[in-house]
Amino acid sequence: MLVVQKYGGTSVKNIERIKKVAEKTIQYKNQGNEMVIVVSAMAGETDRLLSLAHEIARFPDEREADVLISTGEQVTAALLALTLKEMGHDAVSLMADQVKISTDSSFGKARIADIEKDRVISQLKKGKIVIIPGFQGVDEEGNITTLGRGGSDTTAVALAASLNADLCEIYTDVDGVYTTDPNICSKARRLDRISYDEMLEMASLGAKVLQIRCVELAKKYNVPILVKSSYEEGKGTLVCREDRTMMEKVVISGVTYNKNEAKITVSKVPDRPGMAAMIFTALSDVNIPVDIIVQNVSRGSYTDITFTVAKADAKKAYKIMADIVKEIGAESVTMDEDIAKVSIVGVGMRSHSGIASKMFSVLANEGINIEAITTSEIKISCVIEAKYGELAVNVLHRAFGLDKQDVEEESEN
Amino acid sequence: MLVVQKYGGTSVKNIERIKKVAEKTIQYKNQGNEMVIVVSAMAGETDRLLSLAHEIARFPDEREADVLISTGEQVTAALLALTLKEMGHDAVSLMADQVKISTDSSFGKARIADIEKDRVISQLKKGKIVIIPGFQGVDEEGNITTLGRGGSDTTAVALAASLNADLCEIYTDVDGVYTTDPNICSKARRLDRISYDEMLEMASLGAKVLQIRCVELAKKYNVPILVKSSYEEGKGTLVCREDRTMMEKVVISGVTYNKNEAKITVSKVPDRPGMAAMIFTALSDVNIPVDIIVQNVSRGSYTDITFTVAKADAKKAYKIMADIVKEIGAESVTMDEDIAKVSIVGVGMRSHSGIASKMFSVLANEGINIEAITTSEIKISCVIEAKYGELAVNVLHRAFGLDKQDVEEESEN
């Protein structure tokens, strides 16, 4: 098998941990696998380098910032190669320009355009373990670029796709993807597998195991990703194509939860074309990302538009809306920071009816009022009062059969 | 003018110092010069990276060690570019593979084979300040190489030669090259200029301002080097071709001094061809560098061979000689660690007679016995008893007219 493994910053935070990574790699190699290892910068290193840059400038030049921070992954790659060689295994580090990993020229957030696989393949054929710094690339002119935070996952998946790897393993702090946040729900259970689409909804909703971008790429090239803990042995979670034989059984894969948003409602917006465009253009002009948007059918010649933004952007968004209200002749704008968003995610809901109504009933039974609802093909989100957030997660988790079987404690937090 | 400037590790040890470097660069740029800046790693950074490598292996793999430590200079190059841009001046960092600086594949001690100047020139023509990490190169296969300690000076001189620069300035801890060590002789004086050959003799004899290798390269391509302090304003010392108009005036440029050697004498070596070869092959086989070698005319069918080695190698060399003595039928071997080597250096001695005899008289007048003598075209070295080292430096410095004119204090230490 050709296996691409990616180790995050905490997995390589010191020489001791790097040795553990080397041992695991050797174990796979000894089983006859060809190994390509993608590494992040040692934990804290990227921040150290960025803080140097910020001593110089509030907004450091992006090209040069990439030259600076790409050294973090380069250091780890060299240290892991040194460790493997010291342990008697042939290894070679290849930088992005040596591989090469071509990107566009969007410094700090470059996107991978192409990966040349020949040099990696020829090193693998020589029996070497190939180590590649994650997060970096090189543009058409040979400038160093970086892929943005979480870019190392993307490097690993892109390499796996390019090399037609049999498996891409991502080692991280957690031992897999959970049905919900174990800090909130003691019954949270590790999923053995999850589909790309479900993972995308989980990731964007706050289960920060894998970057959205990396899952999108894996889905596009059908790269199976096994998310595992670098600290303990375990089966991890396989993120892969939907398994149609499974689909009938599991309806809901997870419950997610977000308390970091605020809800803004613009009331009595004139029901004319272009009103929503004006509202959301005003927000995107100042780079405020909007999460959910709800617009109901109009009452007479008016409609209400509700949306959520990150709490950090809420006051700014509110002020902008206050101006917009006058401009478009709406009645008023209100803001509510005291909300939580609870979502259920599952490809199974495509073929099962009654999932939404079940969710609403479960919440209603606990006396939780729903302030806004949005749905996608495989997700239903409800905005509720903040204080009910944890309760909602727990009751939904149980109602949709996600509680783990071997219950260790009865309490639900 | 096209000016290449090189800043050492202490000159860029923190952001504050990097800002000073940027200010100086801008000052030159504003005077209409084209600027190429070569930087070392921030003071301590190379050692920090090496200590990580040494946590892994006593003898780290050389290719990967170069991948590791080359990041030090890359970080500084990016930080200086960020600083210049923040100050409103266009700058660009170019790594060795981007320039490109081609070397052989001797990792850790690579030698520069060629520098492509086109990309640097095209950036200069766009009005940019070009910043290049010292110490690194790239071999034919695109592997990262490093040039060994002091390699950044070599990068600067090689760039100056390749770009046909008008001047190569090396900024360092000291404000120039001195007639002797100011710690030993309070009358030591900064030289305004010194020839390449004198600098080579001074460097190899212990005046560690410039690496020998970099002076050799400067001599080969006739690159004038101005050595200056990065801490204070001053004229520095120009290392350049011999000035024949000056040559008549100054006979001796400097007095150097080395207390870190031990003297080994092999007595009554049979005066047959191949004896010296056996002795010195035995030392080079175990990588012990020999400094001076003295062999007198033979007394009858025997001769004595004396040489000096670093004190750290002395015991090992002595043991090897003890074996060799039996093998070649010599009488005995003796070792003396209690020595100092004092030398006078100057191109002027080529055209002046009596320099050697004057040196010997000066030492004799102080009651200093000379244990061994070697001479080159522009240098005379005497081995003396260690305790007379500082005295010898002071009296020679005065006798050859090197004492500074504006005497601040009468004591001679």
Distance from CA of A241 to the nearest CA of B (A): 38
Contact A61 B82 (CB under 8 A): yes
Which residues of A are less than 8 Å from B86 in CB distance?
A: 56-57, 60-61
At residue B381, does pLDDT exceed 50? yes
Cα–Cα dist A113/A158, whole Å: 10
At residue B3, does pLDDT exceed 70? yes
DSSP A379: E
Cα–Cα dist B413/B409, whole Å: 10
Which of A74, A75, A97 has its CB closest to that of B97? A97
> In this predicted structure, which of A239-253, B25-39, B399-413 has the lowest mean pLDDT?
B399-413
Distance from CA of B306 to the nearest CA of A (A): 42
Which residues of B are less than 8 Å from A98 in CB distance?
A: 142-143
Q: Which pLDDT does position B54 carry in this prediction?
A: 96
Tell me how far the alpha carbon of residue B331 is from its chain's centroid: 38
Contact A77 B65 (CB under 8 A): no
Q: Which pLDDT does position B250 carry in this prediction?
A: 65
Topology (CATH) of B2-172: Carbamate kinase (3.40.1160)
Which of A60, A79, A86 has its CB closest to that of B68? A79
SS3 of residue B193 by DSSP: strand
At residue B348, does pLDDT exceed 90? no
Which residues of B are less than 8 Å from A74 in CB distance?
A: 67-68, 71, 74
Cα–Cα dist A367/B35, whole Å: 72
Which residue does chain A place closest to B22, by CA atoms? A56
Which of B65, B95, B97 has its CB closest to that of A82? B65
Which residue does chain A place closest to B140, by CA atoms? A98
Q: Which pLDDT does position B1 carry in this prediction?
A: 94
Structure tokens at A397: 């988790």
Contact B79 A95 (CB under 8 A): no
To probe the interface with B, which of A46, A75, A95 has the most B CB atoms within 10 Å? Answer: A75
Interface of chain A against chain B, CB under 8 Å? 15, 18-19, 49, 52-53, 55-57, 60-61, 63-65, 67-68, 71, 74-75, 77-79, 81-83, 85-86, 91-93, 95, 97-98, 142-144
pLDDT values of chain A reduced to their tens digit, one per residue, 413 residues: 999 999 999 999 999 999 999 999 999 999 999 999 999 999 999 999 999 999 999 999 999 999 999 999 999 999 999 999 999 999 999 999 999 999 999 999 999 999 999 999 999 999 999 999 999 999 999 999 999 877 999 999 999 999 999 999 999 888 899 999 888 899 999 999 999 999 988 876 655 688 888 999 999 999 999 999 988 888 999 999 987 665 446 678 899 989 999 999 999 998 888 888 889 889 988 888 888 888 877 677 888 899 999 999 999 999 999 999 999 999 999 999 999 999 999 887 877 778 888 899 999 999 998 888 888 888 899 999 999 999 999 999 999 999 976 544 444 44
Q: Which pLDDT does position A349 carry in this prediction?
A: 82
Residue B135 vs residues A172, B36, B38, B115: alpha-carbon distances, Å: 35, 15, 9, 13
Which residue does chain A place closest to B89, by CA atoms? A61
Beta carbons within 10 angstroms of residue B320's beta carbon: 19
What is the phi/psi pair of residue B38, to 5°?
Answer: -110, 130
Distance from CA of A138 to the nearest CA of B (A): 11
Contact B63 A142 (CB under 8 A): no
Are B11 and B170 a contacting pair, CB within 8 Å? no
Interchain CB contacts (distance < 8 Å): A and B: 109
Tell me how far the alpha carbon of residue A310 is from its chain's centroid: 16
Q: Which pLDDT does position A150 carry in this prediction?
A: 76
What is the phi/psi pair of residue B114, to 5°?
Answer: -165, 150
Distance from CA of A73 to the nearest CA of B (A): 10
Please give the torsion angle defined by the CA atoms of residues A111, A117, A118 and A123, in that order, rounded to the nearest 10 degrees. 110
More confident residue, A79 or B189: A79
Contact A53 B82 (CB under 8 A): yes
Contact B86 A144 (CB under 8 A): no
Q: Which pLDDT does position A409 carry in this prediction?
A: 41
Which of A19, A57, A93 has its CB closest to that of B86? A57
Which residues of B are less than 8 Å from A19 in CB distance?
A: 56
Beta bridge partners of B310: B261
Which residues of B are less than 8 Å from A129 in CB distance?
A: none
- pLDDT tens digits for range B235-257: 999 999 987 665 446 678 899 98
Top-level class of domain A243-413: alpha beta
Sequence letter at residue A381? S
Cα–Cα dist B98/B123, whole Å: 12
Contact B67 A93 (CB under 8 A): yes
Topology (CATH) of B244-413: VC0802-like (3.30.2130)
* Cα B382-B388-B390 angle, rounded to 5 deg: 90
Domain ranges of chain B: 2-172, 244-413
Sign of the C-alpha dihedral computed for residues B79, B85, B89 and B93 taken in this order: positive
In A298-385, alpha helices (H): 311-328, 355-365
Contact B53 A83 (CB under 8 A): no
Question: Which run of H or E residues covers position B278?
Answer: helix B275-285
At residue B34, does pLDDT exceed 70? yes
Contact B53 A142 (CB under 8 A): no
Question: Which run of H or E residues covers position B399?
Answer: helix B389-399
At residue B406, does pLDDT exceed 70? no
Binned at pLDDT 50, 70 and 90, residue B209 comes out as: confident
At residue B411, does pLDDT exceed 60? no
Q: Which pLDDT does position B167 carry in this prediction?
A: 94
Which residue does chain A place closest to B98, by CA atoms? A142
To probe the interface with A, which of B61, B136, B138, B146 has the most A CB atoms within 10 Å? Answer: B61
pTM score, two decimals?
0.81
Contact A78 B68 (CB under 8 A): yes
Which of B15, B75, B82 has its CB closest to that of A71? B75
Q: Is the peptide bond before A341 cis (omega within 30 degrees of 0)?
A: no
Distance from CA of A72 to the nearest CA of B (A): 8
Contact A53 B79 (CB under 8 A): yes
